[in-house]
Amino acid sequence: MSNEIDVSKFEKKIELRNIEFQDLDEILALQKICFPNNMEPWTREQLESHLRIFPEGQFCVTYEGEIVGSCSSLMVNFDEYDDKHTWDEITDKGYITNHDPEGFNLYGIEVMVHPEFRRMKIGARLYEARKELAEQKNLKSIILGGRIPNYHKYENEMTPREYVKEVIQHNIYDPVLTFQLMNGFTVMRLNKSYLPDDKQSKAYATLMEWNNVDFIPNKTKKYFKTSEPVRITAIQYMMKTIDSFEDFATQVEYYTDVASDQGSDFAVFPELLTTQLLSFCEEKSPSSAIRRLTEFTEQYIELFTNLAVRYNVNIIGGSHFVEEDGDIYNVAYLFRRDGTIDKQYKLHITPNERKWWGISPGDQIQVFDTDCGKIAILICYDIEFPELSRIVTDQGAKIIFTPFCTEDRQGYLRVRYCSQARAIENEIYTAIAGTVGNLSQVENMDIQYAQSGIFTPSDFAFPRDGIVGECHPNIETVVVGDVDLEILRRQRKTGSVTLLRDRRLDLYSVVQKDKSK
């Protein structure tokens, strides 16, 4: 009887998966092999931007653990672009910061396969991955600008249009165009100066499209809008002496009710509003008092979760001190009206917080999905560091909420002016909510200064002074205002200035580091 053959020694492992950050060195090396001396290569910053903004749209194929092919893509609403667009325009110069999660189309911006593996259907696997992604997301089509790399061999014999016609009729073989036609793509038009550094294609590209036959328009969540208003209530919260947690709950519920009665999508409470609970605690030492305050964490979370659901409003619950593994953090919670919860740790700790309370900084910059789009929360001092706002904007945030607590007018103006600057330079909306009144018997929380407000970019489509609304300073009140996400989207494309689009990403970039490594 013959021995059983061990088939494992003949096995070859090929895998298609999403690209990860640890793959980037291999991807950078692969492109030098695939496109030697022909086109300007990716930069690491561009590839990192792809993974931060749209990780599920970036694929690679590995063979025996080695990356032998990759592709990149983003989502767009193609009706918003000129058919004669260039690669730089459709990719925001390779950084895909124009990626639109609500877009109708997947746009392919790069496919590359190692020359030694080009007979193994690597490109076909990558194209199939794109098609599956388009089907999963119920996208209308996949669009791409295809190179015609063999055209330089025929440029003296025929025009680019004639060359494309010959390839379509199978009279000429082109490694890219022929492959795309075989994979179900059709030619929409020919674009001149698509990739100026593509010498083989003489800068020309074919605009190609693959239609998703399973696309269901009436079931997609995406549709054109004339307006997409989001109503915000910023609460200028009075810090006054109370006798119990129930008193605190009554005051908080009153303002939640006010926001709900106004039909608000978001109610924003100020930073450190739970320090009001110290007015009935016995602790006098600031550090001891703060640790005593952390004992209310579960009650605080339960209270705001119930209010968000009961009053049908998303609540930014100010901020609260939380103890974790012996350290104290200043944490802002997002209580969604569907009952789910997220949180943002304060990242920059003021000298005052370190001195009196020994607060530790958080390490994660978060962007949160809500039923009104993506938002971010930057707590007080954090809004004064422009890098944070740029990072959350690049990750899709359209509104930045800033709960704050400041003692004097100078501190308040730092928060306000920086919040308005962030709205302008990132083409987003910002809202600030602060504390007023006093807690004379609570150490380090004796005086407050605030004028809460809701701010916009500065252009014709927005209020004249970039202010949706603002409270009168230093009184207990709220400000209610609408911000329109559709106007914001349009202004980013056609405003008097387009700050995000016009950034010199070839000269500078803001990079978020991975603290887990």
* pLDDT interval class at 226 (50, 70, 90): low
> Which range among 189-198, 319-328, 475-484 shows the weakest confidence by mean pLDDT?
189-198
Contact 245, 277 (CB under 8 A): yes
User: What is the average pLDDT value for the chain, to the nearest integer?
Assistant: 90
Mean pLDDT on 199-210: 92
Strand-pairing partners, residue 61, are 16, 69
Contact 331, 319 (CB under 8 A): yes
* pLDDT interval class at 3 (50, 70, 90): low
Q: What is the reported pLDDT for 355? A: 87
Contact 229, 429 (CB under 8 A): no
* pLDDT interval class at 59 (50, 70, 90): very high
pLDDT above 90: residue 134: yes
Q: What is the reported pLDDT for 1? A: 47
pLDDT above 80: residue 444: no
CA dist 299 → 274, 277, 320 (Å): 11, 12, 11
Task: Tell me which amino acid residue 357 is.
Answer: W
Residues taking part in catalysis = 271, 346, 380
Pairing of strands 320-324, 327-335: antiparallel
Tens-place pLDDT, residues 306-338: 999 899 899 999 999 999 999 999 999 999 998
Mean pLDDT on 356-376: 92
Cα 85 to Cα 83: distance, rounded to the nearest angstrom:
5
Q: What is the reported pLDDT for 70? A: 95
- Give the residue from 75, 79, 62, 48 showing the smallest Cα distance to 114: 62
Q: Quote the tokens at residue 140.
A: 């209308």
Cα 431 to Cα 271: distance, rounded to the nearest angstrom:
13
Tens-place pLDDT, residues 92-132: 889 998 899 889 999 999 999 999 988 788 998 999 999 99
pLDDT above 80: residue 10: no
Contact 104, 70 (CB under 8 A): no
Q: Quote the tokens at residue 367.
A: 């962007």
**E strands present in 260-418:** 266-269, 314-317, 320-324, 327-335, 341-345, 359-360, 368-370, 373-377, 399-404
Q: What is the reported pLDDT for 224? A: 53
Q: Quote the tokens at residue 118.
A: 């080009």
pLDDT above 80: residue 273: yes
Q: What is the reported pLDDT for 9? A: 59
* pLDDT interval class at 11 (50, 70, 90): low
